[in-house]
Structure 1
């Protein structure tokens, strides 16, 4: 009986040991399976963020910036003097009827005999005009009781001083308002009849006073004719619209579309008649392999007078990089680099990079291999740094769907701040394109011949960043170059011949 109990006890103990051993093996197999499962790379396949854009290439290059193109007017007073003397030749005025001027019984002719002298200050001109005057005077005398009458001719000379104010009307016609300041005799008029000298000085003075207005009108007509502005402003108005090639290497063109013209009053400083015409309008910087088409110029607008013409000329300089080129550079930068996490427990490599836009943010699709395989999506705001002249990304972080996916499969990617590592690598040097464009612009502005007698001159000073724009094809970095640009027209500089 005792032996049977011992035998049963032994059998029960052996059975328990066998069960325990099987349990251990099962646990070992489970552990091994779990270990193998844990060693397998996780796979990520988050949803692709939507691709959408606020700007187009054509729309962005249509962006216009208000600017002022200066057209300086300069004319030495001596040149005005020369032109007046060339135009005012010979006979200036003629009164060929004894009955004119209330029957004054005088006929007269007036010639310029010596060069006109011009002195000017501010907007006032003083003309000193030497004149020879022929007069045929009717007379009636009774010497010794004998009545004598008839006509006698005489010649004399005067020096007349005229004051004129010059301005320009809204329709671009020069107006000159001239009046007589004074005159003096160079030689006095006299008539001799039967050996008697008959003074007619008072009569001639009355004649001159009656006809000064006609003399000043003749002067005004010649001044207006000598300073012809409208046709030269029209030429500048049309020439300003011609595209200027800023950079042949990058096919960059500058377009100017003038809309309004303002002008300062004509003033004399240092014996030079000066004014500034400001063509207000818009500048565009576009990229095009061929010369952009020019729309027909509208009619020259009416002149608007202003006390001052600003010199704020603004050009938008563009550097652009395609998504493909940026992705290729980024992929090359990541090639061969391994990123370790949690003391080397996990490792990944970036195998590929793709880029596209989502409104204001740049989307980066990064292909991974290693402890995680598949793709992840990150989004950041593109930024241009004028100091380093580099394009970089701010606030680069995982897309929401990507973040939810790696939380489930590879949370250590969040702990390792992989997005910040990517942000440091996503830097692109675009300053060379901007620098070359600025250099080309400055060379052009130093002395660019638009056509015979027309030159563009200017300087660029401040460079201020605008922003980065995303279009379906490119990443645009835009900066503004500000400076002073003059359009010099030979005819306007000297008022033509």
Structure 2
């Protein structure tokens, strides 16, 4: 600490007493004695730890659209349904029947239902006894069976289809003649077909439910979302998504596709350090059916300025800088700058020399400016104890521009960190196929400033990146 300089050293006194009044005047007006200020230091304290900031969770939903091409489903049904598909031998009525698929099954979408037509060729044989003549007569004819199916998924992820008959159309009708006498069998065949329509419907549902699996794809998407993604190699920053539950909209059948949307809802966090270890999940929560899936995710990006670095930057800015007060009557020079936190305020410890010697303490509220992407201070003012000391020893400093200039020039850029994080996120959201039938993509829409935190080691600006993540699933067959 600088020692007080006796005011008598400011001037060389003449032996002549005639100059004494002049000397006294100069002493009183041109050479003010310096004073020492040593106010009590504000207590260092913090409301948040670095882990608290990393644990800051942002509710998000990952959108997972699922589509199944009706053409693909129809191809699958045509592959599964081949050749002889039904046979009946009713001895009581003396009637035999065999049914084959005649042509390709055709499907179309209407009113959120899947309608399809199954063209069939039917061979029928009817035993008869006419005018004492006993025998059997066979015939072939064609019909088109019609069905409609509604799709759904149960909470345990099993695909549910509800197929019902929509009747049938005759293409050619059966006809048997014995001795030029027509034997009516159309009614018998119609009844037989009607009796078995429910059996056909159940067979279609069984085939669909055994062929279409949703759960393995959703488990794959669940684990894909949980995989940590590096945002910054330099700052060792990782994006971690912790899913909590799964939402799903009812199936829609439209424009040649059967589609639904799944929303994997959870929390996003930005962690620093080594890559987090995430064990792959084999099970997922039960499904919740909802009308709409909220779209959008939020990621907390962290801009960090350690106190040590902030102190060095501030020292470069202020140490050696001189300030004049009262038109040059008082002067001080900044000799050192140190920074730490007290709850939500940043403390600036400034060493000074000149008209006062010692230290003074100022307080300010940390602020992140989105336009300039900088950390700065608002409402900078002297600490209460410093203010009380200055009121007694250097009231002129309280009325000057020192605190205001500190506020204006106390600025730290975190733009590079934010740019790097944005670039990493956009790279992670690039559309790409990550597995058969699973594609990952998304976009980053905007950055919203959230809050500036003071931790025991750093100023931390939390900026919320908002956008959308899509994990698209198709090709379920």
TM-score above 0.5 = yes
List per-residue Cα deviations over 1:315-346 (Å, max 9, x = no partner): 11111110111111010011332111111122
**2:475 is the counterpart of 1:494:** yes
The answer to whether the Cα contact below 8 Å between 2:302 and 2:463 also exists between their aligned partners in 1 is: yes
Structure 2 residue aligned with 1:170, among 155, 177, 182?
Answer: 155
The DSSP-based 3-state class of the residue aligned with 1:240 is helix
Where does residue 142 of structure 1 map in the other structure? Answer: 130
- Residues 193-216 of structure 1: CA distance to partner in whole angstroms, max 9, x if unpaired? 678664422211111111111011
TM-score (norm 2): 0.89
CA contact (8 A) 2:375 2:411 kept: yes
On the 8 A contact 1:263/1:277 being kept in 2, the answer is yes
Is 2:87 the counterpart of 1:87? no
Q: Which of the pair has more CA radius of gyration? A: 1
2:404 is aligned with 1:420: yes
5+ residue gaps, structure 2, are 1-16
Structure 1 residue 397, shift from structure 2 partner? 0.9
Report the more deviating stretch, 152-161 or 328-337.
152-161
In 1, Cα distance between the equivalents of 2:436 and 2:124? 50
Is residue 250 from structure 1 mapped to residue 235 from structure 2 by the alignment? yes
Map of 1:86-125 to 2, 5 A cutoff? 86-95=79-88, 97-98=89-90, 103-125=92-114
| Partner residue in 2 for 1:44 | 37
CA–CA distance in structure 2, aligned partners of residues 252 and 365 of structure 1: 31
Secondary structure (helix, strand or coil) at the match of 2:456 reads coil
Q: How many pairs were matched up?
A: 459
Structure 1 unmatched ranges of 5 or more: 1-23
- Cα displacement (A) at 1:435: 2.4
Match of 1:237 in 2: 222
Distance 1:120 1:55 in 2: 57
SS of residue in 2 equivalent to 1:402: helix
- C-alpha spacing 1:410/1:322, structure 2 compared with 1 (3 Å): same
Give matches, 1:461-480, under 5 Å. 461-480=445-464
TM-superposed CA distance for 1:453, in Å, is 5.2
**Shift in Å, 1:454:** 3.8
Task: Please tell me whether the aligned partners of residues 92 and 215 of structure 1 are also in contact (alpha carbons under 8 angstroms).
Answer: no
TM-score relative to the length of structure 1: 0.85
2:299 is aligned to: 315
Q: Show the counterpart of 2:14.
A: none
Q: Using the TM superposition, give the Cα deviation of residue 181 of structure 1 relative to its aligned residue in structure 2, in angstroms.
A: 1.4
Deviation at 1:72, TM superposition (A): 0.8
Query: Which of residues 352, 367, 384 in structure 1 aligns to 2:351?
Result: 367
Query: Do the aligned residues in 1 keep the contact of 2:301 with 2:418 (CA within 8 Å)?
Result: yes
Which residue, out of 32, 48, 55, partners 1:55? Answer: 48
Return the structure number with greater helix share. Answer: 1
Assess, with a 3 A threshold, how the Cα gap between structure 1 residues 452 and 59 changes in structure 2: closer, same or farther.
farther
The aligned residue for residue 5 of structure 1 is none
Aligned to 1:399: 383
SS state of the match for residue 474, structure 2? helix
Relative distance call for 1:296 and 1:78 in structure 2 (3 A) is closer
Aligned partner of residue 407 in structure 2, secondary structure: helix
Is 1:133 equivalent to 2:125 in the alignment?
A: no
* 1:272, distance to aligned residue in structure 2 (A): 2.3
Query: Does 1:381 pair with 2:374?
Result: no
Distance 1:423 1:278, change over 3 A: same
Give the Cα separation in 2 of the matches to 1:66 and 1:225: 36
